[in-house]
Structure 1
Amino acid sequence: MYNNVLTSHNGGITTITINRPSKLNALNKETIQELHDAFDEANKNIKTKVIIITGSGEKAFVAGADISEFANFSIDQGGQLAAKGQELLFDFVANLSTPVIAAVNGFALGGGLELAMSAHFRIASDNAKMGLPEVSLGVIPGYGGTQRLPQLVGKGRAMEMIMTAGMVDANQALNYGLVNHVVSQEELLPLAEKLASKIMRNSSVAIGAAINSVNAAYEDGVNGFETEIKEFGSCFGTKDFKEGTTAFLEKRKADFPGK
């Protein structure tokens, strides 16, 4: 179905794999569009409760953007590239109501790290290396990197990473709070699936509301507390809330309908 993306579905988990091993899974225009379509399809599938995004092979999650595509762009074309990419993929992923786990299996550089940061949280293999090397090319991160990296690691660390164009290894990323867990390559997808299975025990409707509330804290002009109050209130009108509270009071495991 896709040229550069593989998708598989198993027991409520849709795994999206970027599959351009000869290019270290670099993001080109076609791959960004295919990723948008794959995420959109997974999010609309009522059987999908969690999405895992990873890269094929053992070397790279995504080694960056395909520079040959935009090396000759004008100012206007550059601005459009960033705007379209953010809308189509990076902001799109960040605002999905279905939880997205990035399983970073190697290099996550430039647009690759920006894609991982768009996911709701990240885990990494112990050979992973992450960075935003754009200033070494005379440009800056354009897919949300200057915004999301400081949110995750703090302003000072983000400034250092961006200005030096340097990479951090998996343990440094863990220490910075950029990733939540570091495991061996073999354990990476099993851990992602284990975390997904824990997520799937809970109300998918409530999780979507929680994602929206957390994201609201980072939006200019939006009061995150007000968003939380609104989302909290809306939960009371759901079948999941009725089932969750009833199950608790009846001392049984909840069976959420996802409505």
Structure 2
Amino acid sequence: MGAILLERDRNGIVWFTINRQEKRNAINYEVMDALQETIRMVEKSDEVKILVITGAGDQAFCSGGDLSEFHHLHAKEEAYHMLKKMGTILYSLLTVSKPTVALINGTAVGGGCELATACDFRYARKGAKVGFIQGKLGITTGWGGATMLFEKLPYTRALDILLRAEYMSVETMYEYGWVHSLLSGENITEECRKLLSPYLAQTVSVLRAYKRAAVEKWKNDEFRARFFSEITCCSILWESEEHEEAVRAFLDKS
């Protein structure tokens, strides 16, 4: 079975599931390429109405970048290539002309939170933990996450989340406005479908029109400059000794 599962149901929802439970659904290049291709398909299709991204199992939504695959990246130029690749994918996810949902079935860490932030809606299983913990690894968000967070949340709340660099409950993140709906956990896929049913009643043309109106503000040069400047900043910190030590400690513990 591959690193992702892809399903399109008869209602027009595409379900993109990261299927790497043994790695807590961490993102590697295979997942990146599959997500990029899926976003392109969703953009072009006249049948797809909504894209839902989730993780396999019930333990992890996404634990960010797979450090066991990326640990060989030391120089900032090497890191930048990987960071820009995923950042570009998340920018396309942010601006795709269909509604998108992060169905947070379990823990979301680091880049997993950036992936979720790129989506329009975040529905989360009660009791799950999420964390923009990049600061504790000696780096910043590297896939555009901070830039997106400052766009989507009030300034002080976004800054608080980033500077804390710690795990927070989805209940707290609901109060912050990052999570839009808390799910009971019994059958979160079905709960997600119910939440999306009013949107699915609209035509693809209506969904496209509203989404395009929403994301137009993120398609200008000023926003793109901020978005990719963040990625450059992370690549510089990536080659720092602090980050090297943090990654070594993480891999030793794993």
How would you bin the TM-score normalised by the shorter chain? Answer: 0.7 to 0.9
Cα deviation code 1:127-167 (max 9, x no counterpart): 22111111111111111111112223322222222222112
* Cross-structure match for 1:91: 91
Flag structure 1 segments of 5+ consecutive residues without an equivalent.
Answer: 224-259
1:127 aligns with 2:105: no
* Cross-structure match for 2:16: 16
* Cross-structure match for 1:81: 82
Q: CA deviation at 1:17?
A: 0.8
Find the residue that maps to 1:193 and give its secondary structure.
helix
Matches within 5 A, 1:142-157: 142-157=142-157
- In structure 2, distance between residues paired with 1:219 and 1:179: 24
Matches within 5 A, 1:16-55: 16-55=16-55
Whichever residue aligns with residue 4 of structure 2, its letter is V
1:171 aligns with 2:209: no
Whether contact under 8 Å (1:105, 1:127) holds in the other structure is no
Whether contact under 8 Å (1:16, 1:52) holds in the other structure is yes
Whether contact under 8 Å (1:60, 1:108) holds in the other structure is yes
Flag structure 2 segments of 5+ consecutive residues without an equivalent.
Answer: 224-254
Q: CA deviation at 1:39?
A: 2.9
Is the alpha carbon distance of 1:205 and 1:222 closer, same or farther for their aligned partners in structure 2, counting shifts above 3 Å? farther
Find the residue that maps to 2:186 and give its secondary structure.
helix
Find the residue that maps to 1:90 and give its secondary structure.
helix
Worse overlay, 98-107 or 211-220 = 211-220
Q: CA deviation at 1:209?
A: 2.1
* Cross-structure match for 2:244: none
| Structure number with bigger Rg | 1
* Cross-structure match for 2:57: 57
Q: CA deviation at 1:220?
A: 4.9
Whichever residue aligns with residue 79 of structure 1, its letter is Y
Matches within 5 A, 1:93-112: 93-112=93-112
Is the alpha carbon distance of 1:99 and 1:218 closer, same or farther for their aligned partners in structure 2, counting shifts above 3 Å? same
Whether contact under 8 Å (1:161, 1:167) holds in the other structure is no
Whichever residue aligns with residue 10 of structure 1, its letter is D
- In structure 1, distance between residues paired with 2:111 and 2:83: 11
- In structure 2, distance between residues paired with 1:38 and 1:212: 18
Q: CA deviation at 1:27?
A: 0.7
Cα deviation code 1:78-102 (max 9, x no counterpart): 2222222111x20111111121111
Is the alpha carbon distance of 1:47 and 1:130 closer, same or farther for their aligned partners in structure 2, counting shifts above 3 Å? same
Whichever residue aligns with residue 66 of structure 1, its letter is D
Q: CA deviation at 1:212?
A: 2.0
Higher relative contact order (CA 8 A, sep 6+): 2
Whether contact under 8 Å (1:13, 1:196) holds in the other structure is no
Whether contact under 8 Å (1:24, 1:62) holds in the other structure is yes
Q: CA deviation at 1:41?
A: 2.7
Identity of aligned residues (%): 29
* Cross-structure match for 2:228: none
- In structure 2, distance between residues paired with 1:13 and 1:36: 17
Is the alpha carbon distance of 1:191 and 1:210 closer, same or farther for their aligned partners in structure 2, counting shifts above 3 Å? same
Find the residue that maps to 2:97 and give its secondary structure.
coil
Whichever residue aligns with residue 82 of structure 2, its letter is L
Q: CA deviation at 1:198?
A: 1.2
- In structure 2, distance between residues paired with 1:49 and 1:220: 25
Alignment length (residue pairs): 221
TM-score (norm 2): 0.80
- In structure 2, distance between residues paired with 1:220 and 1:104: 30
Whether contact under 8 Å (2:46, 2:204) holds in the other structure is no
Find the residue that maps to 1:54 and give its secondary structure.
strand
Find the residue that maps to 1:185 and give its secondary structure.
coil
- In structure 2, distance between residues paired with 1:75 and 1:98: 34
